[in-house]
Structure 1
Amino acid sequence: MKHVIHSLGGRGGRRTVLVHGGAGNVAPERRPLHAAGCLRAAREGARVLSEGGSALDAVERAVRVLEDDPLFNAGTGACLNEEGHVELDASIMEGRGLRAGAVCALSEFAEPIAIARAALEDGRHVLYAAHGAARFARMKGFTPVGEAALITEAAREALAAAQQGVRATSWAGNTVGAVALDEGGLTAAATSTGGTVNKRVGRVGDSPLIGAGTYADDEAGAVSTTGHGEGMIRLVVAHSAVERMRAGTCAVDAASGIIAHLAERLDITGGVIALDRTGRFGLARSTATMSWAAVGDWGEESGV
């Protein structure tokens, strides 16, 4: 199948935050809401940078805003598995020491990206799963909110539609993420998701996997992905896009090139946001929509 690749690049600069709200097919009347949600998240990340925070702080904050927004498939409002339960995945990485933290198949906690950040700071392990992730979260002082607090009526409707063979378009249906560059040249990336609607219990996609859904390296850039997780894993999309930037490809061409490769090699759609080590940003999608926003000292942009 021929997939049309849509891409966009920007000049950016130091102190830049770029976010996405998931590649998918949001209904036209809802697209402005998704773009506005992304802009709120990017502005919050940029505020962190302007107040002296690091790129790592900025991507965590931006993704937390998206996790708290029930429009998006992450945290509150995340999609449900085949049994009607929430299983959240998230990862975060900084590009100087290549430190990373991640959680997967996590239930009952509203802030998976913050728990992933705690794993990064703890440093003993990169990835915690299911009950072990919940135990780690409690050990680090996070309080479960209960699954009911995370489930929205839109999520229930999307599950019912999927189980009846109908594709829901009330949200992006995919991951959220952010990449950032700070004044000191630190790059960072973060990704968070509820996974796919009606997924099998215990399914883990690309979002918590370093190199597949999230990657950052100060020598090249930072990437967060969205789309068909199994394909992103098989082509290690985030790391591959960063390696394209390391080789001298600009951020927008790295993003569009890896999405084209995903379509050509596996006939799979998705989206990528990328930020190179100089602050130039790029994004690409092969889906109908991917809400996004970029904010920095140079200004701000957003779209779907």
Structure 2
Amino acid sequence: MPTAILVHGGAGAIFPDDRAHACARGCLEAARAGHRILAAGGSALDAAVAACVVLEDDPAFNAGTGSVLNADGEVEMDACLMDGSNLRAGAVAAIRGVRNPIEVARLVLERSPHVLLAGSGAERFARAQGVAPWPASLLVTERALTRWQKERDEGWTNKPGTVGAVAVDAQGHVAAATSTGGISSKHPGRVGDSPLPGAGTYADDETGAVSATGQGEAIIRVVLAKFACDQLAAGDHPQAAAEAAVRRLGRVQGEGGLVVVDRQGRIGLAANTARMSRGWVDAEGNEGCAFEG
């Protein structure tokens, strides 16, 4: 069966243009990392995680290193991984002190009976599984700190994004991974859509895989990722499913976007924001990246 991977680096107004281009290139590098695994016969789950790790380690994105700061000036991160072959999911919310939240989400999926662990409990689980502490100072970039200071001092606002990946492997299994630092200056403990299966992340071999980005509260209210998968179940092409999901998001005046892949390796994406950075390697092996349109 054909393999494919599609990643996003967040929807919103990404300015200036040089940063937008950097985000698009970063998405392509993440897609290539995932595709190398697929090309070698690896699983969609491994590919989605690998792509997400690349994005978490890239300070251009609001996930892992480069995550935005909450109202207390601290990093709290959310992540989710879902396996379409068995509908198992693992997620962490408001976690601190780890380099790659998506890897902890995978440990929740594979080594616990739970779906979602939050806050200090998620951190305790990570330590028990051998995840080394990661100093908070190494997660904070100058850009994130400047944003936080402007929000406090000048009432300046910005809408940072989320990263995610969807993949299908040669066995026809799909997976979705999503990771984020959330909303800048958020209330401590706030949890968005990314770690919630059905909202920001969903994967089902019978339909496809979805990762969303945008205003988390709005995405939660319309259960965006599951809605897109339901459109696939109804016979929509992934592009049509993505566009229908964005229209659904408009019902609650939400802003955002999503990436979609089905088990045939077809891909789709849509957003109602000015930009959404993304990169892909499709079922024919064609690769590309973009941030507008």
**TM-score, normalization: structure 2?**
0.96
Match of 1:280 in 2: 266
Q: Does 1:149 align with 2:132?
A: no
Aligned CA-pair RMSD = 1.1
CA distance in 1, matches of 2:138, 2:157: 25
Q: Does 1:268 align with 2:254?
A: yes
Match of 1:167 in 2: 157
Match of 1:9 in 2: none
**Correspondence for 2:84 among 72, 76, 95:** 95
How do residues 15-26 of structure 1 correspond to structure 2 at under 5 angstroms?
15-26=3-14
CA distance in 2, matches of 1:161, 1:24: 19
Residues 133-179 of structure 1, C-alpha deviation per residue, up to 9 Å, x if partnerless?
001101111001111111111001111222322234xxx71110000
- Which letter does structure 1 place at the counterpart of 2:11? A
CA distance in 2, matches of 1:81, 1:290: 23
Residues 19-53 of structure 1, C-alpha deviation per residue, up to 9 Å, x if partnerless?
00000111123211111000000000001111221
Aligned length: 288
**Correspondence for 1:51 among 28, 34, 40:** 40
Residues 167-219 of structure 1, C-alpha deviation per residue, up to 9 Å, x if partnerless?
34xxx711100000000000000000000001001000000001101000000
Segments of structure 1 that go 5 or more residues without pairing to the other structure are 1-12
Q: Does 1:193 align with 2:180?
A: yes
Match of 2:238 in 1: 251
Match of 2:93 in 1: 104
1:199 partner SS: coil
CA distance in 2, matches of 1:59, 1:96: 14
Residues 43-92 of structure 1, C-alpha deviation per residue, up to 9 Å, x if partnerless?
00001111221000000000000000000000001000001000000000
CA distance in 1, matches of 2:123, 2:144: 22
CA distance in 1, matches of 2:186, 2:175: 29
Segments of structure 2 that go 5 or more residues without pairing to the other structure are none
2:41 partner SS: coil
**Correspondence for 1:128 among 117, 127, 133:** 117
- Which letter does structure 1 place at the counterpart of 2:9? G
CA distance in 1, matches of 2:234, 2:28: 30
Match of 1:72 in 2: 61
Q: Which runs of 4+ in 1 moved over 3 A?
A: none
**TM-score, normalization: structure 1?**
0.93
- Which letter does structure 1 place at the counterpart of 2:212? T
